[in-house]
Amino acid sequence: MIEYVDICVGLAWGDEGKGKIVSQLTKDYDYVCRWAGGDNAGHTIYINDNKYSTHLIPSGVFHGIKSIIGPGCVINIDSFMKELDYLKNNGFDTSLIKISPKAHIVTDEHIKKDMNKYKELIGTTARGIGPCYMDKYARTGKRVNEYKNILEEFIWDETLHGKVLCEGAQGIWLDIDYGNYPFVTSSNTLPYSACSLGFPPQKIRKIYGAIKIYDTRVGIDPDFPENLRDNKELAQIAEIGNEYGTTTGRLRNVNYLNVDKLIKALHYSGTTDLIISKIDILEKVKVYKYIYKEQIYIFSSSEELLDSLKKIIKENNNYVSNIILSRSPKKI
């Protein structure tokens, strides 16, 4: 029987540090589950100062916790096998990893279609994710349970019990419905979609919402024009913050934190515990700004900015009960 479910969700455009958060929370759970997306996402974590990255497999595997890839995910078998080898070679127990038999398979045809059409058109990762979801909803796709010979030992029996942590991929503003369509991902990134793993919403206890103290975005999006890179302050934040995508290595566009978008994301997600990271980056560049009601506000210190931000959140949101601040790039 499931005792409760906690969910970690990105409140921006991905790359909010969800992997680090989940990595530090896992010891309190029996399962860590992924509910959407494919190897177009990426999580980077640090264990004993060693850096590890995955693109599909949940972060629970790094801590000896059962790690589930849910029915809403899509699986590139070659990519999955490479991640397994990577984890095995680094001494992690891959028998903890299970895949829903209902998850769909990304084929070479999906990747070719993505590469030839959607990569340049809307800035996808060219991993075949969108075309795979197209076939899923056209009811012509292939599921994991049709590849039993290859994936049989990893097929999940679709049971959960005890304490469950759900690990989001991408962020709210990449959601297929709520993002800046069509410059979005092909799945639902909001936390309610985690129920596709097979639990009722009544079991949800906490929702950990992750943001950075500034906004970043990989890929094409009119809301993140290329000329943002001409801003010397933002370019310096990108450089010192090492803002490169985990999956693609692409340079992220950087902007000041959009507080209006954050307030909406908190509302849509029902975030109870807000985690704000990379405060140290602004302190290194000595730039303390955010955007609110289409104006740029300037502060003299990170403390002043954060006090103002907390006040706005309190005035505009009834869900957030805890705000956690992080200055470390390796820990939340």
Q: How far is CA 15 from CA 4, 9, 18, 107, 313, in A?
A: 26, 11, 7, 26, 22
Tokens encoding 131: 């075309």
Query: Do the strands 204-212 and 214-217 form a parallel or antiparallel pair, or are they unpaired?
Result: unpaired
Of 39, 43, 104, 110, the catalytic one is 43
Q: How many CB atoms lie within 10 A of CB 144?
A: 26
In the chain, at which residue ranges do the beta strands (DSSP E only) sit?
2-10, 31-34, 43-47, 50-54, 66-69, 74-75, 97-99, 104-105, 162-167, 204-212, 214-217, 253-258, 273-277, 289-292, 295-298, 322-325
At residue 155, the 3 state secondary structure works out as strand
3-state secondary structure 167-211: ECCCCHHHCCCCCCCCCCCCCCCCHHHHHHHCCCHHHEEEEEEEE
Tokens encoding 177: 């419905």
Eight-state DSSP code of residue 244:
B
15 belongs to the catalytic site: yes
Backbone dihedral angles phi then psi of residue 313, each to the nearest 5 degrees: -60, -45
Nearest-angstrom CA–CA distance, 302 and 220: 30
Q: Is the dihedral of CA 332, 69, 139, 141 positive or negative?
A: positive
Nearest-angstrom CA–CA distance, 229 and 255: 9
The residues, any chain, with a CB within 8 Å of residue 100's CB and separated by 6 or more, are: 68, 69, 70, 71, 73, 144, 156, 158, 197
267 belongs to the catalytic site: no
Known catalytic residues?
15, 43
